[in-house]
Amino acid sequence: MKIFLDRQSAKPLYLQIRDRISSLIKSGALQSGDRLPSIRSLAQSLQVNKLTIIEAYTAQYKKMVCAYTQAHTTTNFLCSLLHKLDCNRFQ
């Protein structure tokens, strides 16, 4: 998954990451059941703090684009397609 960050932008890095994940889902590049990269690996590849990735994934979850499950000792995020979510029941 390619994510490019504009470090000069006024938009926070976590929102840039969240928006890129959203666009990958909308375009079909990420499908239902696909796993997002682990927090540690994405943080290393983007050269950001792990907390930035946690914020991005949390923001993504709050947008109801991703559902999370607990697997072993780490949290894995499983992407769901936007049209399959009933966002109204979470408001």
Model confidence over 58-70: pLDDT tens digits?
888 777 544 444 4
Cβ-based burial of 78 (10 A; exposed 0-12, middle 13-18, buried ≥19) = middle
pLDDT for res 82: 41
pTM score above 0.75:
no
Model confidence over 71-84: pLDDT tens digits?
444 444 544 444 44
Model confidence over 43-63: pLDDT tens digits?
999 999 999 999 998 888 777
Please tell me what DSSP assigns to residue 35.
Answer: B
pLDDT for res 31: 82
pLDDT for res 22: 86
Model confidence over 9-31: pLDDT tens digits?
999 999 999 999 888 888 889 88
Helix (H) or strand (E) holding 78: strand 74-79
Distance in angstroms (rounded) separating the CA atoms of residues 90 and 35: 23
Under 8 Å between Cβ of 18 and 63: yes
